[in-house]
């Protein structure tokens, strides 16, 4: 199956990550099965019940000041549409090439930022999405289950073959309503890049942080805290 997807210059390794910031959504009660409270316990208040526009999500992304000055935000590059073929994983082939590489998801409300650490080649990317809890849960679960269900497969992007390996990781319990985490290895031209991707759904927000495993672990809590704060400094609810 050949599909048209947006890919990055290197071939996808920098196309991962998600991060939310502070929010001022009205309180509500979650009713979807994935986020319902355990028996005997009241449902947790949903601070992010209202769907947020892409413009609002952009204000919620972490910035250089949140990352303590050791990071530089990379300018967004124009999308390049290359033919992508998924080989060796029928489930991912059905979802499309962008899903096979952990790239940007198709939810309509989204924002993204990528940072380079201290002049090195290490990067951390953030993506923030807003949609109904059910849609976020179903969409992310389908992609994650397909990726981790194929320990190895190949992606051919713009004529360049990229060997992919995926490994399911323990999830960070206690954060948000649902969590997913995996380790992706991209191999092409004799070089390999390891990327950790952790996703957390909190109500109608989906946060995905991807990049160097150490950087993802370092900033995950901070990203989620900013995404789910009841208000942003200097802003009115």
Domain limits, the chain: 2-34+45-228
Q: For the full predicted model, state whether its pTM sits above 0.85.
A: no
Which residue in 76, 75, 69, 186 sits closest to 117, CA to CA?
69
> 10 Å Cβ neighbour count for 34?
14
Asked if the model's pLDDT at residue 161 lies above 70, the reply is yes
Q: What percentage of the chain reaches a pLDDT higher than 70?
A: 70
Query: Rounded to whole angstroms, how far apart are CA atoms 42 and 57?
Result: 29
Residue 107: both structure tokens together = 């939810």
Dihedral pair phi/psi, residue 65, rounded to 5°:
-70, -35
Q: Are strands 160-168 and 152-157 parallel, antiparallel or unpaired?
A: antiparallel
pLDDT bracket for residue 232 (50, 70, 90):
very low
Tell me the mean pLDDT in the region 200-229: 93
- pLDDT computed for residue 8 by the predictor: 32
CA nearest to 196, candidates 178, 209, 205, 206: 209
- Is residue 28 pLDDT above 90, yes or no? no
Q: Alpha-carbon torsion 113, 115, 146, 82, what sign?
A: positive
CATH number (3.40.30.10, 3.30.70.260, 3.40.1000.70, 3.30.390.30) of 2-34+45-228 reads 3.40.1000.70
- 3-state percent breakdown (helix, strand, coil) of the chain, nearest 5: 20, 35, 45
pLDDT in tens, 182-213: 999 999 989 999 999 999 999 999 999 999 99
For 78-127, what is each residue's pLDDT tens digit?
655 557 788 998 888 887 655 655 555 778 889 999 999 887 889 999 99
Report CA torsion sign: 83, 87, 92, 94: positive
Can you read off the two tokens belonging to residue 188?
């092409």
Q: Which residue has the higher pLDDT, 40 or 173?
A: 173
**186 in Cβ contact with 166 (< 8 Å):** no
CA neighbor of 80 nearest in space, from 111, 104, 60: 104
What are φ and ψ of residue 201, in 5° steps?
A: -100, 130
Q: Are 113 and 128 in contact (CB under 8 A)?
A: no
């Amino acid at each position: 199956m050949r599909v048209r997807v947006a890919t990055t210059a290197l071939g996808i390794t920098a196309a991962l990550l998600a991060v939310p910031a502070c929010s001022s959504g009205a309180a509500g009660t979650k009713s979807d099965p994935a986020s319902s409270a355990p028996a005997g316990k009241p449902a947790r208040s949903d601070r992010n019940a209202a769907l947020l526009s892409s413009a609002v999500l952009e204000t919620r992304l972490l910035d250089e000041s949140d990352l303590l000055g050791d990071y530089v935000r990379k300018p967004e590059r124009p999308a390049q549409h290359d033919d992508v073929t998924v080989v060796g994983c029928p489930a991912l082939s059905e979802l499309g090439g962008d899903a096979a590489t952990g790239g940007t998801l198709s939810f309509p409300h989204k924002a993204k930022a990528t940072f380079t650490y201290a002049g090195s080649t290490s990067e951390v990317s953030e993506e923030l999405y807003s949609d109904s809890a059910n849609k976020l849960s179903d969409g992310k679960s389908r992609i994650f289950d397909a990726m981790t269900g194929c320990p190895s497969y190949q992606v051919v992007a713009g004529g360049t073959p990229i060997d992919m390996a995926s490994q399911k990781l323990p999830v960070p319990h206690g954060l948000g309503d649902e969590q997913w985490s995996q380790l992706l290895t991209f191999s092409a031209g004799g070089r390999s890049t390891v990327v950790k991707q952790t996703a957390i759904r909190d109500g109608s927000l989906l946060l995905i942080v991807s990049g160097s495993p150490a950087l993802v672990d370092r900033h995950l809590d901070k990203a989620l805290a900013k995404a789910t704060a009841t208000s942003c400094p200097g802003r009115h609810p």
